[in-house]
Structure 1
Amino acid sequence: MRTSPSRRASVLLAAVSSLSLLTAACGDTDDSADDDGTTNAKNAEASPNAPTKTGLTVSFLPKQVNTPYFTVADDGGERAVEELGSTFKEVGTEQGSDTAGQVSRINALTEEKVDAIAVSALDPDALCDALKRAMAEGVKVVTYDSDTNPGCRYAFVSPASSEDIAVRQLALLGEQIGYKGDIAILSAARTATNQNAWIKSIKRELEDARYQDMRLVDVAYGDDEAKKSYREAEGLLEEHPDLKGIISPTTNGIKAAAKYLSQSQSKGDVKLTGLGAPNDMRPYIEDGTVDAFVLWDPAKLGELAGHAAVALASGQITGREGQMFLAGDMGWFKLGGDGVITLGDPTVFDAGNIDDYDF
């Protein structure tokens, strides 16, 4: 149980599309083996109607504790886990690039014999050995927000498809700069799975004809640290004086970049968008530093991860494509390829709606 009181996100973003309510059991048996010769548990039988186990211990391991985004996300996870009759535990590091810290905490949770771990991975490869050991010991592993390799977990709770998130950010910036000029990206850690997927999709989308007059000139990494992200934003403008816009697909990065731009001569001239939390970005929307940005409801993301973790531990799903589980009043969710569970479409925040949200 967390010692700090749970904070509740008081809003809902755009409604997640409800999936058809199916009760038929999914999951034919398949005794195929993974690379090390052990039976692939993802192909075991599962039933969405299996009783929900209670008294479980579900641990959340975010990329970084004590940040607004993950505080809200993990509060959502806590709410789901406790409503399902189990115990929630949050562990983590205060450094946004401490992969070794994530590994050590996974190992500790395995030793503690927790029932499930929900982790937002800082690195797609570095956590794999620790996560595979946890799975071999019977721990159900879910990733949320940022994935690891599919073979190192049972399911991934994704905010939306990587392509949709990337395309929306680029389109917003294109609209703001008239689809013309040099742009840059201010990312988090170099190894962050979600960041790299979005950057790859942005680069691919830039090949579309409507972006023919836009050019990506640089990608900087602030490691989700406020001071470093601030310095990296400053460095981008110093190195690229003709820069027209920045995409920062990370809540800590966009906040730091907005702070820098709001105090610089480039305020209003260099456009900034990306993924941000409304409460962080409200001052910069109000003072004209930022026109619009996007995000999903992190509380709902954490809540869905909590439901997925308990569903795995209860045998309602095993991580196989096509299986379904009920996530409380959020409705039924279906696992896609590689065990991906998608929350829904992101929401665009601007001066017209930002005051409707509080997280």
Structure 2
Amino acid sequence: MISALLCGAMVLGTVSPVFAAGAAEGKTFAIVTKAAGNPYNEKEAQGFKEVIEAEGGTAIIKHPETATADAQISVIQSLISQQVDGICIAGNDENALQAALEDAMNEGIKVSCLDAKVNPDSRMTFVNQAGVTEIGEALMDAVLDISGGEGQWAIVSATSQATNQNAWIEAMKEVMKDDKYSKLELVEVAYGDDEPQKSTDVTQALLQTYPDLKVICAPTTVGIAAAAKVLQDNGSSCKLTGLGLPSEMSEYIGDDDAHSCPYMFLWNPEDVGRLGAYTSIALVNEEITGAVGDKFTAGDLGDYEVTEASDGGTEVILGSPFKFDPSNIEEWKDVY
């Protein structure tokens, strides 16, 4: 099971370009995460660096001090000055980075994004960890299941500008239009800004404001870890689901009253970073342009195809969300 998820292979054909040894030789590739101090971002950067260096290139990891567009713009401008060959960025704002990223592309830098997209004019393609609709469906079905099919529920998100969070939340709201969710009431979307303390504070505020709250869904690894601790420490009857790192959530996963999170979902963030690296290499080497139908091989991850994204741009999808529950959390907690 572990090897299957870690590889995440998507076999799409036999005509995909295959990287020669040293495909990144003599080139410099940068990954720009959302912010410093985020374990998920650190895992992504680790996977990116691993691939770039294995292919003979130089990897630059940039963790902005704050999860803001302004902080990322400063980083992008610095990377342009350094004349890097490729930039792969997890956008803190879908539109605010456009001018800086267009400047980068005008300088010949191949720009892609991963985890959280920037708009189509700001990128060549987007490395998407999982399909937006699939994530929305998985999370809504979890809320439906854990709540018993009815009652109040809330969301603890990252920042209000986080493009991936907003896309998943909108997908959840779209899924909610189905009659089977009609007895569920979404009372609030709270923003913890991907900061542990603020995420803790907004979780506590939700419990105080909505004493009948049945479920919190946190589609953010920082938010779910903070909410899990609040709920479990308080012995709350409110339960939790969302997107979390097994290493951070193992003590909270359980299907009894003593645990706050019956189950959750995620993908391997290191594989997101790895796929981001292979995509960046393919763009820099002009093996792909980011156009629909482009194909390439991403090492042990397998073969991938560039497809149309919902925003009119293109994307490369890593795979489907994976469920972590009491039956497998022990197997995964030491992996990532």
User: Of 323, 326, 335, which residue of structure 2 is paired with 1:351?
Assistant: 326
Distance 1:50 1:219 in 2: 44
Distance 1:346 1:73 in 2: 16
User: Of 318, 331, 334, which residue of structure 1 is paired with 2:302?
Assistant: 331
Distance 1:348 1:14 in 2: 14
Aligned to 1:281: 249
SS in 1 for 2:253: helix
> Does 2:117 match 1:147?
yes
Aligned to 1:6: none
SS in 1 for 2:36: coil
Q: CA deviation at 1:15?
A: 5.1
Q: TM-score, with normalisation over the residues of structure 1? A: 0.87
Identity across the alignment (%): 36
Q: Is the 8 A contact 2:31 2:60 kept in 1?
A: yes
User: Of 205, 208, 212, which residue of structure 2 is paired with 1:238?
Assistant: 208
Change (3 A) 1:309 1:237: same
Q: CA deviation at 1:11?
A: 6.4
Aligned to 1:299: 270
Aligned AA for 1:176?
Answer: I
Aligned to 1:77: 48
Structure 2, unpaired ranges of 5+: none
Deviates most, 63-72 or 214-223: 63-72
Distance 2:10 2:203 in 1: 40
> Does 2:264 match 1:272?
no
> Does 2:165 match 1:195?
yes
Q: Is the 8 A contact 1:50 1:316 kept in 2?
A: no
* Cα offsets for 1:239-261 (capped at 9, x unmatched): 11111111100000000111111
Aligned to 1:170: 140
Q: CA deviation at 1:53?
A: 4.6
**Dislocated runs of 4+, deviation >4 Å:** none
Aligned to 1:30: none
Change (3 A) 1:98 1:56: same
User: Of 213, 229, 252, which residue of structure 1 is paired with 2:183?
Assistant: 213
Q: CA deviation at 1:68?
A: 1.5
Root-mean-square deviation (CA, aligned residues, Å) is 1.6
Q: CA deviation at 1:67?
A: 2.0
> Does 2:10 match 1:21?
no
Q: Is the 8 A contact 1:73 1:300 kept in 2?
A: yes
Aligned to 2:102: 132
User: Of 286, 306, 317, which residue of structure 2 is paired with 1:342?
Assistant: 317
Counterparts of 1:24-63 in structure 2, within 5 Å, are 48=17, 52-63=23-34
> Does 2:174 match 1:204?
yes
User: Of 283, 286, 308, which residue of structure 2 is paired with 1:315?
Assistant: 286
* Cα offsets for 1:273-330 (capped at 9, x unmatched): 0000001101111551111000001111100000000110000011100001111111
Q: Is the 8 A contact 1:159 1:344 kept in 2?
A: yes
Aligned to 2:229: 259
Aligned AA for 1:273?
Answer: T
Q: Is the 8 A contact 1:14 1:347 kept in 2?
A: no
Q: CA deviation at 1:92?
A: 2.0
Deviates most, 291-300 or 256-265: 256-265
User: Of 98, 118, 122, which residue of structure 1 is paired with 2:68?
Assistant: 98
Distance 2:10 2:114 in 1: 20
Deviates most, 249-258 or 62-71: 62-71
Change (3 A) 1:302 1:14: closer
* Cα offsets for 1:220-257 (capped at 9, x unmatched): 00100000000001111111111111110000000011
Q: Is the 8 A contact 1:19 1:334 kept in 2?
A: no
Distance 1:87 1:297 in 2: 23
Aligned AA for 1:284?
Answer: Y
Q: CA deviation at 1:20?
A: 3.0
Q: Is the 8 A contact 2:12 2:305 kept in 1?
A: no
Q: Work out the number of aligned pairs and report it.
A: 324
Q: Is the 8 A contact 1:50 1:314 kept in 2?
A: no
Distance 2:173 2:163 in 1: 16
Distance 1:19 1:223 in 2: 37
SS in 2 for 1:186: strand
Aligned AA for 1:346?
Answer: P
Distance 2:152 2:120 in 1: 35
* Cα offsets for 1:115-156 (capped at 9, x unmatched): 001100000011111000000001111100000001101110
